[in-house]
Amino acid sequence: MSVFIAPRPPPLPKKGSLYQYLRIGLRSALSMFVEGSYGTLQVGHIRLPTLPLGRKRSLFILRAFDVLREVLVRRAADFPKSMLMGSMLNQLLGDGIFVSNGEVWRRQRRMMDPAFSVARIREVFPMMRDAAEAAVQRLDERLAGAGAGEPVMMDVETTHFTGDIIFRTIYSEPITAGRSQDIFQAFETFQDIGYGHGFLRLLRVPTSLLPGAGRGARAARRIRMHLKRPLDARLKALREGRPTPRDDILASLIAAVDPETGTSFDETELLDQIAVLFLAGHETSASTLAWAMYLLASCPHLQERVHAEAVQVFGDRPAQFGDIKKLAFTRDVVRETLRLYPPVAFVARDSSREEKLGNRVVPPHSVMFIPLWLLHRHREHWPEPDGFDPDRFERDDSQEAIRCAYMPFSMGPRVCVGASFAMQETVLYVAWLIRHFRFSPLPGHTPQPVSRLTLRSLNGIPLIVERRE
Ligand code: HEM
């Protein structure tokens, strides 16, 4: 049977002018590549134009594994997180772990790693299961109510699910529909403006005066307000000596003490870390799930394999922690979705001094762009690179590609803190939902992948949903 080709934006027909690149890049970084970009391992170089007073800046695109390893792993300390990330995200994340560098980052990482240990992830499993059951109930109500027969916007639905999980696991309380919707909309606004302005700041354009700057800042404040209220309530309860949950992530962040300095997080630091976990944790997983459901909806024979596996593993009882490792095919579906649609499609680092990478001399203060999107669909590495083929993860002919050209959670010291958490919630959701429903694509609709801060579908992911008997 031929494999389903997962949509990607059309490559640029030819090498364009710088103006063309920038215009397209402002809409989505995925559309900036010519077909040849998917087949070369050379270090690409773009000299960025800057305003007359600005220092020139270069952008390098890294694709070869040895160069990536050097930047992300072996010499990670010499290639800090790019200022580009900080300038796109700091209104929302403050100096949280996703954007910080140096000793500030090392302290945060020492204090946060324990909250994501295997033991802690096991403890939060019941909260994930409750959120998955709530997702089934929402769809049931939807199918029985006024929306019956209408397609379901799966990207909105999966965002509600992952927002619910992260709320339950951080605060031990579910997210309300109103709060989820408000955060979804505020993040859409923030992401549109934050991405475009971050891109322009690469060219040293002062963006605080541009249209939209105020709207972006207001959207960031709105999201932080939603996250601050339950934090304030917890801190007040602790001050007043009232009982508070002990097993959630917030409890673990409040209790965290840096073994080297003996310090804890203050209130602003707590809010910054919660904002990171909320956004790094819920946007990325929601995007993965929406694409996974679309791919399975487009491949009924693979969806039936997930269903058969879910029936065999869950039977008619609630999901249990031990089920996750038995859902082997569903895990491969998630891994293949992360290959085709890596939610963090690009990772960026800065050079702190002059470097030689591959065949290029890299001046100080250049931006290293690591396009997971290109690596994951690279013609040199992957057979049928655009095809949706979860079984490739079990075949010998893909093991080299998986080792050298597959890193949806990045690698090295700044590898995703929440990778195991994310795999647990995404595998659970796909299997649990397909256990209960059948999904099919909306005829005539092809989602258009775009990457701003995370990879999303520009025109949404509407699917037809039916209850299984
Ligand atoms: C499918 C879901 C996810 C994907 C694909 C993903 C991907 C990534 C990637 C690629 C990075 C590194 C970015 C860079 O190097 O610039 C990262 C970092 C991070 N992720 Fe995730 N992530 C996911 C889910 C989560 C979840 C569920 C959490 C927490 C609840 C989380 C928390 C973080 C944090 C805190 C960092 C920063 C780590 C550091 O800089 O030390 N992520 N993630």
C-beta separation of 182 from 286 below 8 A: no
What is the whole-number distance in angstroms between the Cα of residue 93 and the centre of ligand 1? 13
406 ligand 1 Cβ < 6 A: no
Strands, DSSP E only, in 66-164? 152-153
pLDDT of 303 strictly over 80: yes
pLDDT given at position 16: 67
- Dihedral, 356, 358, 359, 363 alpha carbons, nearest 10: -30
Sheet with 367-371: strands ordered across:
44-48, 57-61, 367-371, 346-350
pLDDT of 50 strictly over 70: no
What is the whole-number distance in angstroms between the Cα of residue 419 and the centre of ligand 1? 7
C-beta separation of 138 from 436 below 8 A: no
- Residue 174 resides in a domain: yes
Question: CA torsion sign, 79 to 85 to 91 to 96?
Answer: negative
Mutate to test the pocket of ligand 1, among 107, 168, 416 (most ligand atoms within 8 A of CB): 416
What's the rounded mean pLDDT across residues 95-114? 94
- Looking only at the bridges linking them, the beta strands covering 367-371 and 57-61 are parallel
Q: Which atom of ligand 1 is nearest to the CA of 112?
A: 35
CA distance 172 to 150: 33
158 ligand 1 Cβ < 6 A: no
What is the whole-number distance in angstroms between the Cα of residue 416 and the centre of ligand 1? 4
pLDDT, tens digit, for every residue of 305-334? 999 999 999 999 999 999 999 999 999 999
What is the whole-number distance in angstroms between the Cα of residue 293 and the centre of ligand 1? 21
pLDDT of 149 strictly over 90: no
pLDDT of 34 strictly over 70: yes
DSSP-H helix ranges across 240-327? 249-255, 267-298, 300-314
The two three-digit tokens of residue 137, written as one number: 């109930």
DSSP 443: T
pLDDT given at position 85: 79
The two three-digit tokens of residue 392, written as one number: 């490739």
pLDDT bucket at 47, cuts 50 / 70 / 90: confident
What integer best gives the mean pLDDT of the chain? Answer: 91
pLDDT of 188 strictly over 90: no
- Nearest-CA residue for atom 17 of ligand 1: 416
- Residue 7 resides in a domain: no
C-beta separation of 429 from 453 below 8 A: no
- Residue 286 resides in a domain: yes
Total domains present in the chain: 1
The CATH number assigned to the domain holding 314 equals 1.10.630.10
This prediction has a pTM of 0.94
pLDDT given at position 54: 62
409 ligand 1 Cβ < 6 A: yes
343 ligand 1 Cβ < 6 A: yes
pLDDT, tens digit, for every residue of 357-416? 988 899 998 999 999 999 999 998 999 999 999 999 999 989 999 999 999 999 999 999
- Residue 324 resides in a domain: yes
Q: Which atom of ligand 1 is nearest to the CA of 349?
A: 16
277 ligand 1 Cβ < 6 A: yes
- Residue 375 resides in a domain: no
Q: Which atom of ligand 1 is nearest to the CA of 96?
A: 35
- Residue 78 resides in a domain: no
Question: Side chain identity at 398, as an amino acid letter?
Answer: S
- Chain position carrying tokens 């997983």: 285
Domain residues for 231?
A: 92-347+395-462
Mutate to test the pocket of ligand 1, among 81, 162, 284, 456 (most ligand atoms within 8 A of CB): 284
334 ligand 1 Cβ < 6 A: no
Within its chain, how far is the Cα of 98 from the centroid?
12
- Residue 67 resides in a domain: no
What is the whole-number distance in angstroms between the Cα of residue 426 and the centre of ligand 1? 14
What is the whole-number distance in angstroms between the Cα of residue 441 and the centre of ligand 1? 29
pLDDT, tens digit, for every residue of 112-132? 998 888 778 898 999 999 999
344 ligand 1 Cβ < 6 A: yes
The residues near 21 (Cβ < 8 Å, ≥ 6 apart) are: 32, 46
- Residue 285 resides in a domain: yes
Rounded to 5 degrees, φ, ψ at 347 are: -115, 140
pLDDT given at position 36: 87
